Amino acid sequence: MTEKEVMRKEIREKLARMSGERLKEESLRIASRILSMKEYLEAECMAGYASMKREAQSDEILEDALKRKKSLFLPRVTGDSAMEFMRVTSMSGLIPQGAFGIREPLDGEALNRIPDLALIPGLAFDRKGNRLGRGRGYYDRILREWKGKCLLAGLCLSAQIMPSVPCEEWDIPVDFVVFPEGISCALGDIIY
């Protein structure tokens, strides 16, 4: 097993042991941090994700973005390691079982610009913004395209924050990691 595969297995086991109550409580703390960020409040166009069962729950953030009339775009899988972001006007409009059992938009307006803010999921993060995905590369292309052009914020439960995450030359870090205890920037400083 590679270092990344070992870490993925370790994180999946930690997440499987996390109670539903704790996951919900940590997700609410993460949402509270995002919702109070100046960068979130000022963002007009935002990319997000419909969360899986065992990751930071994003619905509270997405619902708030819709209430604030932000242009909200969520991913839809279009092929092997390919996805596109589609505009969402209501969370109830998502198909419940898209690719990999993840809720996703059925159709809609495709994102044709770089968003102001992008919420990025991952299996693990470190405080420097390094991200370990699920190993299929769906976000690698997006992160490469958006890095330096919009704010990339990784959402991370306490079980997913690691002292360091193994990186390859093609891995793109996020700008901020938002976890229940705080927010770290890519330089490792907790800023909120």
* Spatial CB neighbours of 129, under 8 Å, sequence gap ≥ 6: 152, 154, 173, 174, 175, 176, 177, 184, 185, 186
Decide if pLDDT at 169 tops 90: no
Distance CA 63, CA 5 (A): 34
- Please give the residue range of the domain that contains residue 95: 3-185
Amino acid in position 100: F
Number of compact structural domains in the chain: 1
Q: Which whole-number Å values give the CA distances from 185 to 3, 70, 153, in the listed order?
A: 24, 24, 9
Name the one residue in this structure whose structure tokens are 């708030």: 64
Are the C-beta atoms of 22 and 152 separated by less than 8 Å? no
pLDDT in the model for residue 139: 87
The answer to whether residue 192 is domain-embedded is: no
Distance CA 153, CA 17 (A): 25
pLDDT in the model for residue 101: 78
The answer to whether residue 79 is domain-embedded is: yes
The answer to whether residue 54 is domain-embedded is: yes
pLDDT in the model for residue 191: 53
Transcribe 11-66 into DSSP letters.
HHHHHHHS-HHHHHHHHHHHHHHHHH-HHHHH-SEEE--PPPTTS---HHHHHHHH
The answer to whether residue 190 is domain-embedded is: no
- Domain with 72 in it: what CATH number? 3.40.50.10420
**What are the pLDDT digits (tens) for 48-107?**
999 988 999 999 999 999 999 999 999 998 877 788 999 999 998 888 777 777 888 988
Decide if pLDDT at 140 tops 70: yes
Distance CA 176, CA 185 (A): 4
> How confident is the model over 26-50, as a mean pLDDT?
96
- Range of weakest confidence among 28-37, 98-107, 170-179: 98-107
